[in-house]
Chain A
């Protein structure tokens, strides 16, 4: 059962492997699909949504890739369990608001399918590093197999039909999670985000739409979904990401050259705080983890792996901590204490 030991295993996308993983944490492809003639989740009745959930669960059971997957009816889970899924990027925060929402995800947390969110199906595939195309390939297989069992809404001109016209067409969102501390420190990030916006790309925070860019992590993704092939969209996001990565690396090098002492000081201060603090909020922890990560990636700090830092990013989130240490909901002191304890434990060497 997933919720018994989720502290011990983490999604494969947190592995810290894959191309360009020093700056690009993960790549994600999301495809939107809806069922023909059925009312979209935001207007569907309880019964209609329930039928769709059952229908999708039954179809998914027959798909080889998803055979050993977890399938959850979100409303049957405890609230804390729902939040754990959000923190692991397996479902969105919004999913909980709909009738009969559900999720299917595999053991390695590579693929997850949300049912009855804004659209009937929202499938995602998460890969470590910059590897959008392979994430896409996995999803297309699942998409093909599902489309044999489910009647997807498709229009010969407009393509796949979605609840919101911004997703119509391919229904694809290709996004990357990048860590850009040097661009933030050098105060170039504002200009760069601006340029990305003008190029038609969306920039979001660590947990997607409407969230803050915690710990210098940014999500960059395409906005337009109609009139281009999926491959073209992926290529364009990948190309921009590569430029962004190069820029970040360049600035890291010039920071090392021009203000090595200052950078080293910030990194070791972050390490000092994380390995000594007795109480720490998640915001503060994220910020120091970002600096620590920069230190590891620039070779200033060894003995700490990117993988363990990635795991910490998820483990220190509020619901993971509450669940881990069985802390009551409003006890923030205990939560901050547990967070600090975990940090010290993980960073001891």
Chain B
């Protein structure tokens, strides 16, 4: 066997869709490629073996590929799995254990570490107890830390900053729609100021 130049490449199909998103049983206009080794399953691993100057393509299913010890280079799956993202967010914080603060919710007793391990709060008061720590987390998840949406009945709307922001947003939209760009710029600056105040 010519071992001088053995280059092995294994790639996944170009339009690979993870199993959870794979529409089952849809018709495919082009013919399926069947695994050359077992002759049963659909070939999803396309293997190019280069020996010397000769290149040979082998199509096989993932099972047979695994049996042959071929590692598949997994690409970024196109589906977004929220839990994965979340655990990524958490794990990147968890990498620095020395910064983990010793916080505990006075209402339910959940510790900050406990929150980090299950990525769920145990009661509404946890938000207050961990407030300083969760702002960066919320920022990473949502790109923002200020709620400007609905407010429950009974919560004073006029005084709440979120409500004002909400009103300003509506005004901003209206100003843009009506092409009052000078007004729009003023409102935009006001929104910016309010948001900056909140993040300090």
Contacts and interface: CB of A to CB of B under 8 A. Distances in A.
A165 B160 CA distance: 22
Chain A interface SS verdict (over half): mixed
B167 to A, nearest CB: 10
- On chain A, which size bracket covers the interface? 35 or more
21 contacts: A39-B108, A39-B123, A40-B122, A42-B122, A43-B122, A143-B150, A147-B154, A148-B154, A157-B161, A158-B147, A165-B119, A165-B141, A187-B15, A187-B28, A191-B15, A202-B80, A212-B22, A214-B23, A227-B142, A228-B148, A229-B170
B160 A189 contact: no
Contacts of B107: 37
Most buried by A among B15, B122, B141: B141
A300 interface: no
Most buried by B among A38, A155, A156: A156
Interface string B126-167: 011000001001100111111111111111000011100010
B78 A194 contact: yes
B138 A168 contact: yes
B144 A156 contact: no
Interface residues of B, number: 57
Contacts of A290: 26
Contacts of B148: 227-229
A166 B134 CA distance: 12
Interface string B18-42: 0111111111110000000000000
Contact of B162 (A159, A184, A215): A159
Given A154-B155, A158-B138, A185-B29, A205 B21 contact: yes
Contact of B149 (A34, A148, A210, A228): A228
B145 to A, nearest CB: 7
A195 to B, nearest CB: 9
A203 interface: yes
Contact of A39 (B16, B122, B127, B151): B122
Interface in A118-136: 118
Interface stretch (A1-9, A218-226, A308-316): A218-226
Most buried by A among B19, B82, B119, B149: B149
B30 to A, nearest CB: 8
B86 interface: yes
A97 to B, nearest CB: 14
B149 A230 contact: yes
A205 to B, nearest CB: 7
Contact of B80 (A35, A38, A197): A197
A153 interface: yes
A224 B143 contact: yes
Contact of B142 (A190, A202, A224, A262): A224
Nearest to A233: B149
Given A155-B147, A158-B138, A227-B147, 19 more contacts: A37-B124, A39-B122, A39-B123, A154-B155, A155-B127, A165-B138, A166-B82, A166-B86, A168-B142, A170-B147, A172-B149, A187-B28, A191-B15, A203-B80, A210-B20, A226-B144, A226-B145, A230-B150, A284-B25
Contacts of A227: 142-148
Nearest to B140: A165
A162 B160 CA distance: 20
A229 B166 contact: yes
Nearest to A223: B82
Nearest to B144: A227
B150 A37 contact: no
Interface in A191-250: 191, 193-194, 197, 201-203, 205, 209-216, 223-230, 232
User: Lowest 10 A-B CB distances belong to which pairs?
Assistant: A227-B144, A159-B147, A153-B124, A190-B15, A287-B25, A194-B78, A226-B142, A170-B149, A147-B152, A197-B80
Most buried by B among A38, A39, A186, A197: A39
A160 B138 CA distance: 13
A346 interface: no
Contact of A164 (B27, B29, B120, B170): B120
